Chain A
Amino acid sequence: GENVGLHLPTLSVQEGDNSIINCAYSNSASDYFIWYKQESGKGPQFIIDIRSNMDKRQGQRVTVLLNKTVKHLSLQIAATQPGDSAVYFCAENPSRRALTFGSGTRLQVQP
């Protein structure tokens, strides 16, 4: 079936470097995408979202890029900090009923 998936299960970066987390989606009906951050033992937290009529959206230190042609979503984190260490999920809403989540990527920031 159609699903949202991630290319890399674990990403390790040095503090201060930029991080890029990738996500592939396959449901062309999705028109809204979200990135969540989940710290250990906590619920996922909203980071940034993007609608399908956009290809880029920036927040504070984060940027989401959407490539509808290849059904690819990425999250860029600038100047990665130890507090950014977490699992990151992308999510899509193919039906406006509920979000479908990918399997997650663990970001490890080395001091």
Chain B
Amino acid sequence: SQTIHQWPATLVQPVGSPLSLECTVEGTSNPNLYWYRQAAGRGLQLLFYSVGIGQISSEVPQNLSASRPQDRQFILSSKKLLLSDSGFYLCAWSVVTTGNTIYFGEGSWLTVV
């Protein structure tokens, strides 16, 4: 069965510090990978998606970036965090042939102080 892991689960970072959230998927090959962000009490906003190694599409211009160094690894980064970057970050994967159902990880809570 497929599983998705993301870490760290919780982090508190000062404004201006860098960020690295990592996500890995097991049990499937060549998945589509996604990073979503969820502000407190709000819906999910798509940040990045990737259909293959090195292929990243950005949905929202901001100070975040994503990379996919391996087939099942997706990394969300920032060089300098802003207060507005606080939120719940969710990694997700899908297989297009199944209708694009997205399966989410457990999320990472980021608080920028």
Contacts and interface: CB of A to CB of B under 8 A. Distances in A.
Given A43-B90, A44-B90, A99 B102 contact: yes
Contacts, number: 52
Given A32-B99, A51-B99, A96-B96, A103 B104 contact: no
Nearest to B106: A43
B49 interface: yes
Chain B, interface residues (CB within 8 Å), range: 20 to 34
Interface residues of A, number: 23
Given A32-B100, A98-B34, A98-B102, A103 B43 contact: yes
A66 to B, nearest CB: 14
B42 A103 contact: yes
Contacts of B59: 98
Nearest to A44: B104
Contact of A34 (B43, B46, B101, B109): B101
